Amino acid sequence: MIAFVIRRLLQAVLVMLAVGFVAFSLFAYVGDPVAIMLGQDFTQEARDRLIRELGLDQPFVVQYFRFVLAAAQGEFGISYRLARPVTDLLVERLPATLELSLCAAAIALFVGVPLGVYTGLKRDTWGSRFLLTVSLVGVSLPTFLIGILLILVFSVMLGWLPSFGRGTVVQLGWWSTGFLTGSGLRALILPSITLALFQLTLIMRLVRSEMLEVLRTDYIKFARARGLRNRAVNFGHALKNTLVPVITITGLQLGGIIAFAIVTETVFQWPGMGFLFIQSVQAADIPVMSAYLVMIAFFFVVINLVVDLLYYAVDPRLRIDKGAAGGHGH
């Protein structure tokens, strides 16, 4: 178990180094930071001095190493566009994105799993046929279209919910939260539904097909043959066996939700990291882009690690150290 965690941590470090390399390469190959910083008029002398000051005359490997060292300490330089430290910009925007993503993930999970179980158990009812058909829409409609449709119906036509922004936020230390005010909560509804819908239908379809698979197994038949109550068979035995793939997908989707909040945040003018990223792309603001890249990769790596650890909690076959397994003879 400990060896496993250490191995996964080493792999995570490797992944982060590779992503760091890509993020670092952005500086070298997308635009010339020196030209951007010097502006229109400069002398060769000023240029050389800046290059020396920035350490750009150093070998590539040394530069990369310094970049990694700084990044590990949360230091990503200064935004070209806003002339503020990138880290501060991201930290400011982080709560907005995380609150939105967590709401969306919660909706996807707490609606998706029960619907999946329902459609798996009551396979041939009108209810599940209807849900499956609707879920096709959820899978195939692009996020921005769903967002715009929701805005059209609930903000423009009905006027129930705000169409953009976070509403009123409350500062808790450095964390700004929209959970504590009515307008903050109301502002969360449409974007989190928009962001959740795709994942929700995905989870529902996944749980359904896993349920169908598990319900066919011998141990479910045997559980029924032992006369266990339906609830115990369906939820105690069947649902728990569907959890490993569901945890995997949900975990990866959570990373995806954070990363792809870009579209939703843009549609709803949500002041999160994704919106910041889009604005940075338009301005070719490389430090923000590369920091965003590293940060999203970091989320994915952490989530993957957590998912792997959850397997251990769910599946005893992984938990047993090899010495004790294998069983005794006959």
Partner 1 sequence: MSVEPLLEVRNLRVEFPTRRGTLVAVDDISFSIAPGEVLGVVGESGAGKSLTGAAIIGLLEPPGRVAGGEIRLDGKRIDNLPYEAMRRIRGREIGAIFQDPLTSLNPLYTVGRQLTETILTHLDVDEAEARARAIKLLQDVGIPAAERRIDHYPHQFSGGMRQRVVIALALCANPRLIVADEPTTALDVSIQAQIITLIKRLCRDHGASVMLVTHDMGVIAETADRVAVMYAGRIAEIGPVRDVIKRAKHPYTEGLMGSIPKLGGSETKLAQIDGAMPRLTAIPKGCAFNPRCPKVFGRCREERPEPIQVGDTKVACWLYDSANKAAAE
Positions in the binding site for partner 1 (CB under 8 A): 217-219, 221-230, 232, 236-237, 240-241, 314-317, 320, 324-330
Amino acid symbol at 224: R
Answer whether 34's CB lies under 8 Å from 50's CB: yes
**From the CB of 250, what's the least distance to partner 1, in Å?**
18
**From the CB of 210, what's the least distance to partner 1, in Å?**
14
Cα(315)–Cα(325) distance, integer angstroms: 14
Q: Which is nearer to partner 1, 135 or 242 (CB)?
A: 242
For 115, 122, 321, the CA distances from 2, given in Å and listed in that order, are 37, 42, 11
**From the CB of 236, what's the least distance to partner 1, in Å?**
8
Biggest CA-to-CA distance, the chain? 87
Q: Which is nearer to partner 1, 43 or 230 (CB)?
A: 230
**From the CB of 304, what's the least distance to partner 1, in Å?**
22
Checking DSSP bridges between strand 170-172 and strand 175-177, what pairing results, if any?
Answer: antiparallel
Q: Which is nearer to partner 1, 173 or 327 (CB)?
A: 327
Q: Which is nearer to partner 1, 66 or 229 (CB)?
A: 229
**Site of tokens 């715009």:** 148
Q: Which is nearer to partner 1, 84 or 224 (CB)?
A: 224
**From the CB of 98, what's the least distance to partner 1, in Å?**
32
Q: Which is nearer to partner 1, 36 or 232 (CB)?
A: 232
Residues sharing a CB contact under 8 Å with residue 210, sequence separation 6 or more, in sequence order: 116, 120, 241, 242, 245, 246
Answer whether 201's CB lies under 8 Å from 193's CB: no
Cα(194)–Cα(199) distance, integer angstroms: 10
Amino acid symbol at 165: G
Cα(50)–Cα(52) distance, integer angstroms: 5
| Length in residues, the chain | 330
**From the CB of 222, what's the least distance to partner 1, in Å?**
4
**From the CB of 208, what's the least distance to partner 1, in Å?**
18
Q: Which is nearer to partner 1, 104 or 214 (CB)?
A: 214
